[in-house]
């Protein structure tokens, strides 16, 4: 069973989703709902990765991940850029493009989770704080985050 590969694929997908969420929020800082929502959902991606960590260790997947956070300065610059560009009509098109990208990334994360959960069920992980049923709810949460998109 190549569970390490499945875990790593989830880690990659969640980390890149988190990063894209943060960047999209900052790029569209004047789009206030998107700004707050992307930050909250990115935090959730981080939490998912934290919870996956013990399994990563156990099955030989990487035990660290890139939090995807830019330095405060870069974040601030991106945000200010977003505020300036946000008064231009073309910002709507950029927004649409970013939302499309996010939708695809969230789907990617969902598929990775599905594969991992099926693998995990196959080898019947019994222990840990998360039961297979509660783990199964994870991809659904990912999808609802993107339903808005």
d(CA 16, CA 106): 9
> Shortest gap between Cβ of 79 and another protein (angstroms)?
12
Q: Which of 17, 36, 14 is nearest to 26 (CA)?
A: 36
Per-residue contact track with another protein, 130 to 149, x per CB under 8 A? --------------xxxxx-
DSSP 62: -
Number of H helices, E strands in the chain: 5, 0
- Cβ proximity to another protein: between 74 and 84 the closer is 84
Q: Are 69 and 38 spatial neighbours (Cβ–Cβ below 8 Å)?
A: no
Per-residue contact track with another protein, 11 to 50, x per CB under 8 A? -------------------xxxx--xx-xxx---------
**Near another protein by CB under 8 A: residue from 71, 87, 127, 129:** 87
- Cβ proximity to another protein: between 128 and 134 the closer is 134
> Shortest gap between Cβ of 87 and another protein (angstroms)?
6
Rounded to the nearest 5°, which phi and psi values hold at 88?
-105, 140
């Amino acid at each position: 069973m190549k569970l390490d590969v499945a875990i790593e694929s989830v880690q990659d997908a969640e980390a890149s989703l988190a990063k894209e969420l943060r960047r999209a929020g900052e790029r569209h800082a004047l789009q206030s709902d998107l700004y707050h929502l992307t930050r909250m959902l990115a935090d959730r991606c981080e939490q998912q990765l934290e919870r996956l960590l013990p399994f990563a260790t156990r099955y030989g997947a990487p035990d660290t991940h890139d939090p995807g956070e830019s330095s405060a300065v870069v974040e601030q610059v991106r945000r200010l850029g977003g505020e300036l560009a946000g008064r231009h009509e073309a910002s709507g098109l950029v927004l649409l493009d970013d939302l499309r990208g996010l939708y695809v990334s969230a789907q990617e994360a969902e598929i990775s989770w599905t594969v991992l959960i099926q693998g995990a069920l196959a080898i019947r992980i019994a222990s840990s704080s998360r039961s297979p049923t509660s783990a199964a709810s994870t991809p659904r949460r990912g999808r609802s985050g993107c339903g808005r998109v």
